[in-house]
Structure 1
């Protein structure tokens, strides 16, 4: 039903829920773990509605600027409270992008959940959800898969070049959705490789080269966020192999820069603040 591969711990946790989903489930994990695909798998073709972040015109917006608004949650509530004897499933993708009004509206639904209804939330940054929502959902984190599983996934997608395999394994770092996309989308693979190269410059280059890099990115928010995500991949890898207080500090500063730029902060100012 899904092309994703799960770690043994994640697979066991999901299997235990397959026949009896709680009324509210939160799937968490790093970007590229396959949260939405997993949510769709769990609904078993009984999905009633999916709520996703949108722009002001109501178009789906998967960027950090996207917002889930109270109007969308009210539509969900209106649909979910209709009485039925059939089990129904609703997905709220990137649930942490609900604004405060939407979160409070959804909280009321969680406090008095309708019968025969399950809500599946996905979030890469669950700390942005209200504590009162987090206390009312069952949570499963999708762990990265092993290197052996990653190799098997690449083999299944006919990636035979050792060089490409090595690059994809580093880029994905055990995230199956990312690994699958890298294997199937050459343009995405090339863009991700460029982003990693530039991220290394951001982290390790000399002052002049880093400033030149910042100037080349400062007008493109989406590309800048992708650059910072690539830098975070490098730092996570360093933490797993040679952890140190300096690397932890760098990780924290990257996260701060990412959050501020995602919140419409000045790109050049935030990147310059990171490198000084």
Structure 2
């Protein structure tokens, strides 16, 4: 008798021999016992899980001479002919090569004929997802009104590619990948009967590599039976299949935990020179890291991961060298690497850089993280106090010791309103130039009560800065905000006035988001936290000019007065905008009026050559 491959020789021949698909077997058996046999079935699942084998067994159970029965006898001529594939009433169709509409039309013509020998004519259509869309639509007519003597059993690994109209006309059964222990038990039985001397660890490695497919596991065992005359070991499996030796995984993990860059570079060279598939190595190492993580974090890890007895002690010892944070970091690095080496291009370069990164990476422990967060929280609290207070000196005991200098708002060097101060206000251009020197400030202005009149006067003289600040934060809000005609400070509220035809502007600026931008800008300019509102009521005596400067309506040059005459109203004289010119500091008030007068006289002297 000619040689038969293991996967054919050991193919299940009865329901009781099916492994790992008990839910499907039970349903099919009961449907036969209760005479509830459907006209079409579809078996879905990965390769090597028993779809075609179970379809044949179901065909035998329907057509056994002693049946229909829940367990075929495998002795009658009907069962034996189906098992050998010689029965004319059980037709197996490969949809990958018979996928066209002409093939389906031929099938439609044949199904109407009664079976020759059996009770039921059974069509087993493998790789059903390969049928074209046109052929699938033609096949629908048969499924809608099938002859009573026909049963269709379709098998597919890609159920999502089968059109929904076909899927809805079939009873669907999902086949699961076989569990590791079931494959190991099956391989041990076959090896015992076939006389193959193989170690338990080698069987475990085969079962793991088969990835839930019993057919793949049978094929690997068959290859190993011819590999050598001696006992089949783990080394035999790794050599034949080209998979990664477990010792190499332990060695690489030790290099990472020791952060030995020299050994790491040598390992990279040895791995690349060996010609091993980098994708397989990275996949295996991720599995290795996962095992370490489970052992490190779970009370009964052997209930979750399958580890060979030979490697169990090594896993537990190595897991003690790693921290959970470190394992998680390596899982992230090599998971990202797996995506990069997936396509093959530049895989070696990606692998080299990932290994170097993994060796040189450091884990910051929780104590360091907490101390850093506490330091940041302290600085944030101090900055909030600085922004919320009108003015004042921060308590020396609250200074951040690590800085060595008082806390200043280095992000924005706009002068703050602090009651009365003799310091001058810098223009925006000068502020930008002096930003680098803002940290040299030795002290903050003294704490004063907020004077609405002085705050209003200061804001009018710094309205350009306010517009610039709002524009920097949100240019669309600034475009509407600059339409304000005037403002008034009442307690802790500042009211900006708009003309009656600016209803859209008022509604938009009164929204929380817009008001927050303006409120923040005001706080950065004046140091005062004020509520911002917009209204239509105009102010009686003040208005904002087109150039965004504020002046009294009645402060006009008297009729007949000219600049040539030298007679000017001091209230409207404004210095020419010069980048080096200093503006008055907020809070100057009435106490510093003499300084303002002197500035005006000096301006007249410089401009007109006349003394007052």
Same fold by TM-score, threshold 0.5 exceeded? yes
Equivalent-residue separation in structure 2 for 1:134 and 1:273 (angstroms): 42
- Which of 87, 96, 99 is the equivalent residue of 2:120? 87
> Is contact 1:29–1:123 with CA below 8 Å preserved after alignment?
yes
Instruction: Give 1:31's aligned residue.
Output: 47
Which structure's CA Rg is the greater one? 2
Equivalent-residue separation in structure 1 for 2:157 and 2:204 (angstroms): 26
Equivalent-residue separation in structure 2 for 1:14 and 1:195 (angstroms): 40
The CA deviation at 1:81 is 1.6
Distance 1:174 1:11, change over 3 A: farther
Residues 100-249 of structure 1 correspond to what in structure 2 (within 5 A)? 100-158=133-191, 160-186=198-224, 194=241, 196-197=243-244
Equivalent-residue separation in structure 2 for 1:33 and 1:272 (angstroms): 34
The CA deviation at 1:192 is 11
- Gapped runs of 5+ residues in structure 2? 1-12, 61-81, 228-235, 245-266, 291-303, 306-326, 351-612
Equivalent-residue separation in structure 1 for 2:167 and 2:23 (angstroms): 21
- Which of 14, 17, 32 is the equivalent residue of 2:28? 14
> Is contact 1:74–1:105 with CA below 8 Å preserved after alignment?
yes
> Is contact 1:18–1:42 with CA below 8 Å preserved after alignment?
no
Distance 1:21 1:171, change over 3 A: farther
Instruction: Give 1:64's aligned residue.
Output: none
* Higher fraction of helix: 1
- Which of 17, 32, 41 is the equivalent residue of 2:57? 41
- Gapped runs of 5+ residues in structure 1? 56-66, 198-204, 215-226, 258-269
> Is contact 1:25–1:121 with CA below 8 Å preserved after alignment?
yes
> Is contact 2:43–2:172 with CA below 8 Å preserved after alignment?
yes
Instruction: Give 1:200's aligned residue.
Output: none
> Is contact 2:242–2:276 with CA below 8 Å preserved after alignment?
no
Deviates more, 1:77-86 or 1:43-52: 77-86
Equivalent-residue separation in structure 2 for 1:33 and 1:132 (angstroms): 25
Distance 1:138 1:192, change over 3 A: farther
RMSD: 4.5
> Is contact 1:51–1:72 with CA below 8 Å preserved after alignment?
no
Deviates more, 1:145-154 or 1:93-102: 145-154
> Is contact 2:96–2:130 with CA below 8 Å preserved after alignment?
no
Tell me if 1:74 matches 2:88: no
Higher relative contact order (CA 8 A, sep 6+): 1
> What is the DSSP-based 3-state SS (H/G/I as helix, E as strand, rest coil) of the residue aligned with 1:115?
coil
Report how many residues are paired: 227
The CA deviation at 1:78 is 1.4
Instruction: Give 1:98's aligned residue.
Output: 131
Deviates more, 1:154-163 or 1:95-104: 154-163
> Is contact 1:53–1:97 with CA below 8 Å preserved after alignment?
yes
> Is contact 1:153–1:180 with CA below 8 Å preserved after alignment?
no
Equivalent-residue separation in structure 2 for 1:117 and 1:191 (angstroms): 48
> Is contact 1:171–1:192 with CA below 8 Å preserved after alignment?
no
Equivalent-residue separation in structure 2 for 1:39 and 1:156 (angstroms): 24
- Deviations 1:162-184 (Å, cap 9, x if unpaired)? 23202211022333233233333
Distance 1:143 1:107, change over 3 A: same
Distance 1:9 1:54, change over 3 A: closer
Equivalent-residue separation in structure 2 for 1:37 and 1:128 (angstroms): 22
> Is contact 2:128–2:155 with CA below 8 Å preserved after alignment?
yes
TM-score with structure 1 length normalisation?
Answer: 0.63
